A and B are shown apart, each in its own frame.
Chain A
């Protein structure tokens, strides 16, 4: 394992300036990429083994190979900068701290797939990132890294900074494209609307996450062999009951336990209770799973259905967390963010929300736990998109591991978690 590099410069105050960025080796990946054949660039990314960091973990090189090569077909690259998965904040950190890295990754990716326009769909609340990217794009334009005939290669590229408007659903790639076309952020039917086939304006489109494209800039600068020797780094957003919440760069496959240690251990020496290993869309895990490697293949293999690496956001809970309240909060989130397109998600989240409401207000009934499992079962595999499918995993896992907490709430109308403060 090498030194961290994705986060290496984010605290340098002048990293957002082109000159400083280049003095630290920036845009070397772009220069190398543009001197290669587009297919060779894709090969380089493919060989690196890079998998998308937005949540689905699809191999980036393979995604780009799906884009038709025909030069007569207009293609687009769209950057998913809508970071909204609860607990995730690494993309914002990268854009604020190292904005040129993303621009460099966009140039390389666009060149590789033959796109002449790239769009950054940036979350509206990211004002600092917007300022940093606006400046980086202007500087890259002035240096002829964007615009016409970039570095005299004959390649043209324009980057357009677009805006989100507050909708978690817009982070899903097909809903994002709807939103970018100025409509409600509702997901499209796959097939036929795989972005690589029919994407933005129904043209072939690569949708890539911010962190993914930052990796691409490094891979092209240093080569896939160097990159792999670093142990396939990944950014983990750690939050909750740890001493030092933050974004940590570690090799893929680092265990949950090691991540918590890196984050300074449990807050005030308290005991670990559970965590979401990959944002709120992944099932929660207990202390029996602390030695599970955070990796795309290992997490889905544990015996808790719906566990995944997702956006690599580890949300840590200590013994003072009331699991009924936590799961209620996640359900409310998905209920409020549901786009309403399909019934299992639209209705299921409301029903589950109602059951939680009465359990937390001392009106739970003995049959409520079976009811929760039943609704969760009805939502599993029936939702139109992954948003609705994100509800059952943690609900089921909490019913399995913390059933006694639910039962206590139902029987007594109170919470028996020591040190827990109920929601005011």
Chain B
């Protein structure tokens, strides 16, 4: 499971590929399923959590472990929103912009985050601390407007609450 910490330097690894412990975790996932490829989505998260994003080396190592070609793995991974193909900040902020949050004012929350972090959606702060993204319904509409910072849910958000969350988030 991810703890929301991402980016170069997080996790232990050897060279530019996956560490032995990540490879062992992928083998454990594979062993759970009747067919090896069923472990692919989980294996990609193991790689992403360790390296911070799906680098070409990460894709190569996952493909090798799964017995698939690099292009097959890339094709599957690119279908899903939660894989990153370039480095992201240590904290990923996902602001829900779907209906319930839109009705409750997520537009103001998103604008405030852009102003505070001085970045646009999809960008990372120069210090590598935050990446800002929008998300579809995160199934937490009782908290609208809400966001995820790493795995942590925050809501109902006000502009002050957003400032608090940013301030208390570890650098």
Contacts and interface: CB of A to CB of B under 8 A. Distances in A.
B142 interface: yes
A339 B79 CA distance: 8
A240 B139 contact: no
Interface in A118-165: 123-128, 130-131, 160, 162-165
Interface residues of B, number: 47
A85 interface: yes
Interface stretch (A6-14, A38-46, A179-187): A179-187
A167 B108 contact: no
B82 A333 contact: no
Contact of B139 (A91, A183, A276): A91
5 contacts: A86-B98, A86-B99, A125-B82, A181-B37, A182-B41
Contact of A245 (B35, B45, B98, B142): B142
Contacts of A237: 141
B103 A181 contact: no
A421 interface: yes
Contact of B110 (A201, A326, A339, A424): A424
A206 interface: no
A126 B1 CA distance: 10
Nearest to B114: A424
Given A86-B99, A88-B141, A333-B99, 12 more contacts: A92-B139, A162-B41, A165-B41, A167-B81, A180-B38, A182-B41, A239-B100, A239-B144, A240-B103, A241-B104, A245-B144, A337-B136
A99 to B, nearest CB: 15
Nearest to A318: B103
B34 A201 contact: yes
B78 to A, nearest CB: 8
Interface of B: 1-2, 32-35, 37-42, 44-45, 66, 75-77, 79-83, 94, 97-100, 102-105, 107-108, 110-111, 135-142, 144, 148, 151
A165 B54 CA distance: 13
Contacts, number: 147
A-B complex: 6 closest residue pairs judged by Cβ atoms: A166-B81, A182-B37, A239-B141, A182-B40, A166-B82, A165-B80
Contacts of B34: 117, 201
Interface in A173-193: 179-185
Given A162-B38, A423-B107, A315 B99 contact: yes
Given A185-B79, A317-B103, A326-B102, A89 B142 contact: yes
Given A160-B33, A165-B41, A181-B37, A85 B137 contact: yes
A239 B136 contact: no
Nearest to B97: A329
A249 B52 CA distance: 41
A326 B148 CA distance: 22
Contacts of A317: 103
A125 B2 CA distance: 10
A291 interface: no
A136 B103 CA distance: 36
A245 B146 CA distance: 13
A333 B83 contact: no
Interface in A241-255: 241, 245-247
A163 B75 CA distance: 18
B144 A165 contact: no
Given A182-B41, A201-B34, A421-B107, A247 B142 contact: yes
A87 B100 contact: yes
B13 to A, nearest CB: 21
A103 B91 CA distance: 32
Given A131-B1, A421-B108, A123 B139 contact: yes
A416 interface: no
Contacts of A321: 103
Interface string A59-87: 00000000000000000000000011111
A182 B39 contact: yes
A22 interface: no
Contact of B99 (A92, A163, A168, A330): A330
